[in-house]
Amino acid sequence: MFPTHRPRRLRTHPQLRRMVRENVVTTSDLIYPLFAVPGEGIAKEVKSMPGVYNLSVDKIVEEAKEVYDLGIPAIILFGIPENKDIDATGAWHDCGIVQKASTAVKEAVPDLIVIADTCLCEYTSHGHCGYLQVGDLTGRVLNDPTLELLKKTAVSQAKAGADIIAPSGMMDGFVQAIRIALDEAGFEDTPILSYAAKYASAYYGPFRDAADSSPQFGDRRTYQMDAGNVREALKEIALDIAEGADMLMVKPALAYMDVIWRVKEASNLPVAAYNVSGEYSMVKAAALNDWIDEERVVMETLTSFKRAGADLILTYHAKDAARWLQK
């Protein structure tokens, strides 16, 4: 009676396959990134990210309503300020673009979770994630003075209505510094989603186009992680957990699913995977040329993140995925 075992028996019918599926993507897993810009009535498509737009606050509100109606529980806000300076003033000012967008979204869609990206690169004139030594052209960020800027930024974002603070600059001690600042300001219940393992990746290219955040000189390898390292990622997450992180993120996702798996195994905190701009743009470019089936590729990719251990997925495909899941 060979073969004794016939795994194909459980693949014979679509409903049977659905019943025994081990990992399933739902709209509750998704977080949609949005780019806020000054002005009114602005919806400017990002050239390198088809279907993604720089949006004025009024348009952000419209988008937030659509996201909520699709069943997506959260957005993450990035800001492109009108002016940039060495103090990243637009990041922490009470009238900063992310602050304005956060307040407007919470007033219009109070049940939508607003995550504020807490970083400085979009707001500094040099494009790096904090203070630099005067005359430094290498991009080596001064860690401890930058923590003071991040503390001000996090508190300002929480005051504006952000539900979750998501520091992404990879400064040593940034979770602890932000946690102390939030607690002292009365925001002890505001959680921190730490970009705990953020790699210095070529997959970020289109994002820098969208956020106008490319470094004017040097690169970010002195603070973002080297692509060849995974033990270092585990060290970073252990430090962030000890400092009070509530959730952990791995960024990018597609080329780092082994890291997602290791982080999930090493922690009992929720793990987020950021399906970054370069990953999105490659799929969109291939789909626009009819080289791939976009829906199947996107859903297969998102499922692979869940299989690797991600509880949450930040993705520019979120709205499309939500629509496909409703079929």
Q: State pLDDT tens for residues 25-51.
A: 999 999 999 999 999 999 999 999 999
Q: Which residues are catalytic?
A: 198, 251
pLDDT of 219: 79
Q: Judge whether 316 is annotated as a binding position.
A: yes
Task: Please report the beta strands in 212-289, taking only residues with DSSP state E, as ranges in sequence order.
Answer: 247-251, 271-275
pLDDT tens digit string along 156-188? 999 999 999 999 999 999 999 999 999 999 999
Tell me which DSSP letter residue 85 carries. Answer: B
| pLDDT < 70 regions, the chain | none
Q: Judge whether 82 is annotated as a binding position.
A: no
Dihedral of the alpha carbons of 173, 210, 31, 29, in degrees to the nearest 10: -100
pLDDT of 182: 98
Q: Judge whether 119 is annotated as a binding position.
A: yes
Cβ distance 153 to 204 under 8 Å? no
Q: b/e string for 183-194 if b means 16 or more Cβ within 10 A?
A: eeeebeebbbbb
Tell me which DSSP letter residue 229 carries. Answer: -
Q: Judge whether 277 is annotated as a binding position.
A: yes
Look up the pTM and report it.
0.95
Domains of the chain: 23-326 (3.20.20.70)
Q: How far apart are CA 185 and CA 69, in angstroms?
A: 33
- Contact residues for 11 (Cβ-Cβ < 8 A; gap 6+): 17
Q: Judge whether 95 is annotated as a binding position.
A: no
pLDDT of 39: 97
